[in-house]
Amino acid sequence: MFGFLNVYKPKGMTSHDVVAYLRRITKIKQIGHTGTLDPFAEGVLPICIGKATRLIEYLQDNKAYIGTVQLGSSTTTYDIEGDITNISNKKISIDDINNVLKDFEGEITQIPPIYSAIKVNGKKLYEYARSNQNVTIEPRKVIINEIKTENFDYINNTVTIFVSCSKGTYIRSIANDLGEKLGTYGHLIKLVRVKAGDFELDDSVKLEDIKTIDDVKNNLINPLIKLDIPTYELNENEITKVKNGNNIFINNSNRTIILTYNNNIAAIGYNENGTIKCKKVFI
pLDDT at position 74 is 97
Secondary structure of residue 23 in the 3-state scheme: helix
- For the chain, give the mean pLDDT: 92
- CATH number, domain with residue 250: 2.30.130.10
In a shared domain, residues 89 and 110: yes
Q: Among 41-55, 170-184, 248-262, where is mean pLDDT lowest?
A: 248-262
> Do 250 and 274 contact (CB within 8 A), yes or no?
yes
In a shared domain, residues 71 and 154: yes
Catalytic residue among 17, 38, 83, 95: 38
- CATH number, domain with residue 208: 3.30.2350.10
Distance CA 93, CA 157 (A): 9
Q: Given a cut of 60, is residue 73 above it in pLDDT?
A: yes
In a shared domain, residues 90 and 75: yes
Please say which residue of 173, 191, 209 terminates a domain: 191
Q: Read off φ and ψ for residue 48, nearest 5 degrees.
A: -110, 130
How much is the pTM? Answer: 0.91
pLDDT at position 118 is 66
In a shared domain, residues 252 and 135: no
Supply angle C-alpha 202, 58, 227, rounded to 5: 50
Could you give the number of structural domains in the chain?
A: 3
In a shared domain, residues 69 and 54: no
Task: Give Cα 138 distance to the centre of its chain.
Answer: 21
In a shared domain, residues 106 and 183: yes
Band (pLDDT 50/70/90 cuts) for residue 39 is confident
38 as an active site residue: the answer is yes
62 Cβ contact list (under 8 Å, min separation 6):
145, 164, 165, 166, 167, 195, 197
> Do 163 and 169 contact (CB within 8 A), yes or no?
yes
Give me the domain span that covers residue 68: 63-191
In a shared domain, residues 68 and 185: yes
pLDDT at position 90 is 94
